[in-house]
Amino acid sequence: MKDKKGLTGWLSPKGIFYPCKYGEHRILAQKILFKHKIKDSKLRKALKNETSIPNDNILKLDHFIAMGSSNHCSYVCLNNKKVTKKQIKWIHKNFNNLDLKQRNSVSHLLKPKKKLLNIV
């Protein structure tokens, strides 16, 4: 399989991918937060008590997966292995669009019958 350029952006718990340029995750996180109301009580409480929480950390608390790919760095942040079924479905469908390092980071999610993660 030829190595791909990779994907950069946020993957929501509902399996919706929000692309951005590498290094612009925080800008996109702010846009996502404004677009979608936060319903999770933990997140609302965190926002109320901690006004300095970066927007990207708020998305991570809500099981968003950050991924990035550039000439210098490539990653998929699985947030303590809490991954939804819709995220796994999206990863499976878009696996070939990920670069080699990203594919290696998520390949265990596509293997059946392994209890390596906490699916929510």
Q: Could you tell me the pLDDT band of residue 117, with boundaries at 50, 70 and 90?
A: low
Give the tens place of pLDDT for each residue, 40-62. Answer: 555 555 555 555 556 667 677 67
The residues spanned by each domain of the chain are: 9-119
- Of 53, 52, 18, 57, nearest to 35 (Cα)? 18
Beta strand 74-77 pairing with 65-69: antiparallel
d(CA 115, CA 108): 10
In this prediction the pTM is 0.75
Give the tens place of pLDDT for each residue, 59-96. Answer: 776 788 999 999 888 999 886 668 999 999 999 999 99
Sign of the C-alpha dihedral, residues 113, 84, 78, 96?
Answer: positive
Residue 72 is predicted with a pLDDT of 84
- Of 58, 65, 53, 67, nearest to 12 (Cα)? 65
